[in-house]
Chains A and B, each alone.
Chain A
């Protein structure tokens, strides 16, 4: 593959646009200069670091180091799920549930792709494993986050409706079915919208990257389809397990709604 490499001068030139952004904020008194500066610096430092880390990991090609990197990514993503919630499950439940379900769904789907479709040699080759996992992880994180947000808010809002069903002899799973359905719809909607709009409204990042790197567009499209299928499956697996786990925690074995286990942010 032949591709055009960028040098420092190219990046400095492009960064003029961010400086323009800052000037705009200053003149319009948007008071975004400080946040913009911090965000830009974070972006530069984080991406440079991850560039070095990936380069080292690719060179090492070690299952242990690749696994540790995956774990680190999942742990950070777990924190992100918590940060997006208005209501939380008391204790470590929310973090544990979000991170656990994300780890489960991401691992299952990534292993499936690496061992049956992409098949790199060795199967854990970080050059393939990490980018694929990163893309899947980000989307599963969003799905779980939206699903739990909807479930926790829905359970608090629909308390009387859920308890009305429990009082009439419904099980906890029957009584929470309306909020479960709503939570899963909210979790899965973004990937459905993405699939419907991709290729017309937007060019997905990975496909664009491959084309820029000199790949044949049809090959890039095939990779993109594969990734979207994996994301759709992973999001479903992750959000269903997180929502079911959430209901398990919000109720008890005597089929009672236990909203005292929910805390406000």
Chain B
């Protein structure tokens, strides 16, 4: 279980919540309200106050790279540090399972990143994260650049992950998507984070 206790940073006001194994928490709120700041702080990518722990082990007590392998953040626009696709995967053979599951051709292996579409890059970034088997996956609008078919592929894959015990924090602007995937919802506005029921959040 991921526990966030009085987490705060710059514009983000103190927030506490917990996320059980296999649970999905939707994160909603207007652009610039602090959703990404919240996710970045949980991944320990920015300095913050408060405590975050996974199964009782506090983030600051273990090396940050080890923490981020378990509590992984996937931003809306992922970065790439090499020209070729396969250079971003520790083991391409293992990655093929996720690449195929996300309906990408395995021949994409030798493609240059700059030649890929936004949707292909987004799905590859997801595969790149999944191949590392994180316990908690924080997704920042993972389907924003995808067509309807791809959205349902990604959603059903992530629902399978939830059933296998992976926890998800999912930023989405689509209330219907939040309803489909999440059990609870965090609403972020001007740095204030409130836990709301999904239905209330959808209505508001």
* Interface positions of A (Cβ within 8 A of B): 158-171, 178, 252, 254-257
Contact = CB atoms under 8 A, between A and B. Distances in A.
B132 A161 contact: no
Contacts, number: 62
A169 B45 contact: no
Interface of B: 43-47, 60, 63-66, 68-69, 72-75, 77-81, 128-129, 132
B44 A168 contact: no
A175 to B, nearest CB: 8
A254 B64 contact: yes
22 contacts: A158-B81, A161-B80, A162-B79, A162-B81, A163-B45, A164-B78, A165-B81, A166-B68, A167-B43, A167-B45, A167-B68, A168-B69, A168-B72, A168-B128, A169-B68, A169-B69, A169-B132, A252-B47, A254-B44, A254-B64, A255-B64, A257-B45
Contacts of A158: 79, 81
Contacts of A167: 43, 45, 68, 72-75
B78 A160 contact: yes
Contacts of B68: 166-169
Given A167-B68, A169-B72, A255-B64, 4 more contacts: A158-B81, A167-B72, A169-B65, A178-B81
A208 B65 CA distance: 55
A165 B66 CA distance: 13
B64 A160 contact: no
Lowest 9 CB-CB distances: which A-B pairs, in order? Answer: A160-B79, A164-B79, A169-B69, A161-B81, A161-B79, A255-B64, A254-B64, A169-B65, A169-B68
Contacts of B79: 158-165
A168 to B, nearest CB: 6
Contacts of B74: 167
Given A158-B81, A256-B45, A256-B46, A169 B66 contact: yes
A194 B69 CA distance: 45
A164 B185 CA distance: 26
A170 B67 CA distance: 11
A74 B9 CA distance: 41
Nearest to B128: A168
A168 B137 CA distance: 11
Given A165-B81, A167-B43, A167-B74, A256 B64 contact: yes
A160 B73 CA distance: 13
B78 A171 contact: no
A205 to B, nearest CB: 41
Residue among B68, B72, B132 with the highest chain A CB neighbour number at 10 A: B68
Nearest to A165: B81
Nearest to B74: A167
Contacts of A168: 68-69, 72, 128-129, 132
Residue among B65, B80, B128 with the highest chain A CB neighbour number at 10 A: B65
Contacts of B128: 168
Nearest to A179: B81
A251 to B, nearest CB: 10
A257 B44 CA distance: 11
A178 B79 CA distance: 13
Given A166-B68, A169-B66, A169-B68, A256 B77 contact: no
Contacts of B63: 255
A164 B80 CA distance: 7
B112 to A, nearest CB: 15
A255 B65 contact: yes
Contact of A171 (B44, B65, B72): B65
A256 B60 CA distance: 13
A196 to B, nearest CB: 28
A66 to B, nearest CB: 46
Contacts of A170: 65
Residue among A162, A163, A167 with the highest chain B CB neighbour number at 10 A: A167
Nearest to B60: A254
Nearest to A167: B73
Residue among A162, A171, A178, A255 with the highest chain B CB neighbour number at 10 A: A255
B140 to A, nearest CB: 11
Contact of A164 (B46, B65, B81): B81
A163 B125 CA distance: 13
Contacts of A257: 45
